[in-house]
Amino acid sequence: MKIETGIKKELFTFGFDEEKEGYRDGVFYLKRPETREEARRRGAEAVAIMDKLKIKESYASTSSLGEFSMDFVEGVLLADYDFSRRRKGEDDEKTLWVEEAPWLEEVLQVKDAVFFARDIINEAPSVMNPEEFALRARQLEEIGLEVEVGEGSWLEENGFFGTLAVGRGSAVPPRVVIVRYRPSHPRGRLALVGKGITFDSGGLNLKPSKAIKGMHMDMAGAGAVLGAMRVLPALEPNCEVLGIMPLAENLPSGSSYKPGDIIEMANGKRVEVDNTDAEGRLALADAIVYAERQGADAVVDLATLTGAAVVALGELVAALYSTDEDEARAFMEASSESGEMLWRMPLLDDYRKELESRRADIKNAGYGRSGGSIMAALFLREFVSEARWVHLDIAGPAMIDKPFFYMPAGATGFGVRLLIEYLRSKR
């Protein structure tokens, strides 16, 4: 969707009306929203109308859209995405005309960040491996961010022993991408950690056929972090932000890590591998320890971590866990603004016993799916020392089977706008 500025009332025009939806007097009226999220969804409805009527060019009447003009346009932009159509190169681009507005550049930057994440996450797994992800991350150097790629001996020297174990079965070695945003006078240091398992077969605990489909999107957490980092030079938060993305392929081979292996992690804890399909938490644990060693006073991680979170909350809501009430509140407020839905989940110590091991300090998985999302969060908490910590299990909304308003089937880019709204509070 192209955005052009100017008053074009002669075009097919969208507006809001409190009483009656439908086309009249040269305007297609949509039901007036009551919230920002409803306005975004009206934007998605407008795209559906344009597709149905085969309209290539339309006008958004900001005088009619009023206070929700920005959110309506954001919904239009986010809804007009199709990875397969982009790859085929079909000429299906639409244009929306809007009046010049101070928020327009901001909306376009957010859209670009979300699409950047969606494209990376949707990419075929034979293309988007740890090496290719690192190459895409290098693009952020062009906008003034610092990008470092750790590989080989760097991983051992910096304690990424879980990530190394997970990636042992692949011909493509693991990597860790680190992106830094440094303001002139930072107040604090924040780490954003994204799970980057570029393909998850389950390892030797191989997933069944139905479950393995879509596992090229198991790096949606890393994709969301990388997408959000793109906006920071324009957003200008007053804290230093460190994006940390451990990347690996979890594949079965003669060199794969095995159930029963014991991994000594960077913080000294020994982890018994109970299930090689509980691999993401090993990579995240590495990154959390590294973040604190880099001086992060707050750590936020995003991960498509457990099927249990999907069972509990479905495809539209992510699970939020936190050790800090202020940070949890900040994310719930960001959720309300962005429309990316969260539900606060408990860190129940009673479930910790399910992770006890007779051979090591802790196991990487409990038994079955019961409370599985909580137990995964409890495992990660073992690797948090002093930092304020937020864990987002985005397994449900990161990738969906059917379109939902402005969220397309496949990778949704969930978490990008949530992180951006959260970081606004750091300005």
Calpha distance 238→423 (Å, rounded): 9
User: How far is the C-alpha of 412 from the C-alpha of 315, rounded, in Å?
Assistant: 11
* Cβ within 8 Å of residue 125, ≥6 positions away: 198, 199, 215, 216, 249
Which band of pLDDT confidence, cut at 50, 70 and 90, is reported for residue 366?
Answer: confident
Name the CATH superfamily housing domain 109-424: Zn peptidases (3.40.630.10)
Residue 20's pLDDT is: 82
Specify whether the CB–CB gap between 14 and 55 falls below 8 A: no
- Report CA dihedral (250, 252, 257, 261) to the nearest 10 degrees: 120
Half-sphere exposure of 26 (CA within 13 A, CB side): 8
Q: Residue 241 corresponds to which amino acid?
A: V
Confidence of residue 18 (pLDDT cuts 50, 70, 90): confident
Query: Which CATH number does 2-99 carry?
Result: 3.40.220.10
Integer CA distances (angstroms), 32 to 17, 37, 38, 381, in order: 5, 12, 9, 44
Residues 53-97 have pLDDT tens digits of 999 999 999 888 999 999 999 999 999 998 875 555 555 789 999
pLDDT confidence of residue 174: 98
Q: What is the pLDDT of the chain when averaged over all its residues? A: 96
Average pLDDT over residues 209-238: 97
Q: Mean pLDDT across the stretch 327-347?
A: 98
Report the Cα 112 to chain-centroid distance in Å.
Answer: 14
Of residues 286 and 427, the one with the higher pLDDT is 286
Distance CA 417, CA 397 (A): 13
CB distance 401 to 306 below 8 Å: no
Higher pLDDT, 24 or 14: 14
The predicted structure's pLDDT at residue 353: 95
Is residue 76 within 8 A of residue 83, CB to CB? The reply is no
Evaluate if residue 24 carries a pLDDT over 70.
Answer: yes
Question: How far is CA 66 from each of CA 39, 57, 63, 98, 195, rounded to the nearest angstrom?
Answer: 11, 21, 5, 12, 39
The pLDDT > 90 percentage for the chain reads 92
Structural domain boundaries of the chain? Answer: 2-99, 109-424
Q: Is 80 exceeded by the pLDDT of residue 369? A: no
Helix (H, G, I), strand (E, B) or coil at 367: coil
Catalytic residue among 36, 189, 230, 281: 281
Structure tokens at 228: 């959000």
Q: What is the pLDDT of residue 19?
A: 76
Query: What is the mean predicted confidence (pLDDT) over 336-347?
Result: 98
pTM of the model: 0.96
pLDDT band at 406 (very low <50, low <70, confident <90, very high): very high
| Average pLDDT rounded to a whole number, residues 345-358 | 96
User: How do residues 156-211 score in pLDDT, each as one tens digit?
Assistant: 999 999 999 999 999 999 999 999 999 999 999 999 999 999 999 999 999 999 99
207 catalytic per annotation: yes
Equal fold, 2-99 vs 109-424: no
- What is the pLDDT at residue 63? 87
Q: Does the pLDDT at position 25 exceed 90?
A: no
Catalytic position from the list 31, 56, 207, 424:
207
* Amino acid letter, residue 152: G
Contacts of 254 (CB under 8 A, 6+ apart): none
Tokens of 122: 């949707």
281 is catalytic: yes
pLDDT, tens digit (0-9, with 9 covering 90-100), for 106-140: 999 999 999 999 999 999 999 999 999 999 999 99
- Whole-angstrom distance, CA of residue 404 vs CA of residue 374: 27
How far is the C-alpha of 190 from the C-alpha of 234, rounded, in Å?
Answer: 17
Distances (CA, A) of 130 to 16, 151, 291, 413: 46, 10, 20, 19
Please indicate whether residue 367 or residue 426 has the higher confidence score (pLDDT).
426
